Amino acid sequence: MLQGSSSAPPTYNVNSDIALTVYNNQATGATIQHPITGSTHADASIQFVDDKTGLLNNADDPSGLQIEELFQTANKNSTLWSNLLWTSGGKLNATKCFFYFIYPRIDYPTRKHKYYTTNSHPGKICIPHPSSGGDQELPRFEPHQAKRTLGVHLAPNGSSTEQIKITLQKIRTYKGKITNCNLTTNLYWLAVKTILEPGVIYPLMATIYNH
């Protein structure tokens, strides 16, 4: 099986569907309410190829949120998912794993959303180490910190600071390369259309500008 071949998707689904089905049945997920109809949808995980996003909330009673219990459940779910991957011979790459604690509130004087931080609501998530069996702690990021997801640097609070910084740096880099090379006009344009333009335009739809 080769990545990108016609046999890769069905083979991947056969292996992953079993683990995802078990996880959705046994893990504590999130209840998402439709903003118009009010209907609810329950889900425990969203997966893009080899990346998994686990969802966890206390939708039944948000006002009674117990942070300690929330992190206990998150640890249970993370261990469950790690063990499910082991049944198919896989393992989680801890260097690629991270998590956010997202708990928004309204700051009425400024009329803006604020998010609780690690200092105000501490907690950690661990997964079993593939060799020693001990716990290995996953990095926790604050809601304003952006992580690269499918080519776009997104922050849960909507901040576009990191994406704009990276986009501007990419533009400056290519400008320097094009200025200091001896390409024909056609090759200049080809470089802009095939390399620079996709890299700049692709993340724009997920980037919020405040001006």
27-52 tens-digit pLDDT: 888 888 887 888 888 888 887 656 67
Pick out the chain residues at pLDDT < 50: 211
Phi-psi region for residue 55, left (φ > 0), alpha (ψ -120 to 50) or beta? Answer: beta
pLDDT at 56: 86
pLDDT at 211: 42
pLDDT at 98: 92
- Do residues 48 and 119 share a domain? yes
Q: For residue 163, tell me if it sits in a domain.
A: yes
Question: Shortest CA distance to 126 belongs to which of 140, 141, 137, 111?
Answer: 137
| Dihedral Cα 78, 84, 89, 95, nearest 10 deg | -10
pLDDT at 123: 92
Q: For residue 87, tell me if it sits in a domain.
A: yes
Q: For residue 111, tell me if it sits in a domain.
A: yes
- Which domain range does residue 90 map to? 8-143
Residue 30 pairs in a beta bridge with 43
3-class DSSP assignment, residue 62: helix
- Do residues 38 and 91 share a domain? yes
Residue 185 sits at the vertex; the CA angle it makes with 183 and 191, to the nearest 5 degrees, is 70
Domain end point (choices 143, 168, 194)? 143
Beta strands in 81-164 (DSSP E): 99-100, 104-107, 112-115, 126-128, 135-137, 140-141, 147-149, 152-154
Tokens representing residue 66 in the block: 């117990």
Question: Shortest CA distance to 98 belongs to which of 114, 118, 68?
Answer: 118
pLDDT at 209: 55
